């Protein structure tokens, strides 16, 4: 989360401890998500509010891309 803390965009995104927060707007309205790093369990916890279900899939894909969550760690470990 340190990288995101150092590169926060005022009134758009912020980091609070181990939680990254972001607001963004689409043609359907205002959306929000927070992503918590739960290091002791080696997992992430996502809280998501979308203005429309039409925003759900594109929002999840953007989050996966932003946090580099599209790779398979088991595949990378065995290469």
* Tens of pLDDT, residues 7-66: 666 676 888 888 999 888 899 999 999 999 888 988 889 999 999 999 999 998 888 888
pLDDT of residue 48: 94
pTM listed for this prediction: 0.69
Given a cut of 60, whether residue 77 has pLDDT beyond it is no
As a whole number, mean pLDDT of residues 54-79 equals 77
Which residue segments constitute the domains of the chain, with CATH numbers given? Answer: 2-77 (3.30.310.20)
3-state SS class at 41? helix
Half-sphere exposure at residue 26, Cβ-oriented, CA atoms within 13 angstroms:
15
Query: What is the distance between the alpha carbons of residues 42 and 22, in angstroms, rounded to a whole number?
Result: 22
pLDDT of residue 62: 87
């Amino acid at each position: 989360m340190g990288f995101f803390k150092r590169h926060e965009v005022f009134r758009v995104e912020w980091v609070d401890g181990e939680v990254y927060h972001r607001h963004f707007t689409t043609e359907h309205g205002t959306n929000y998500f927070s992503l918590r790093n739960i290091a002791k369990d080696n997992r992430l916890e996502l809280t998501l509010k979308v203005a429309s279900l039409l925003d759900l899939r594109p929002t999840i894909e953007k989050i996966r891309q932003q946090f580099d969550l599209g790779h398979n760690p088991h595949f990378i470990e065995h290469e």
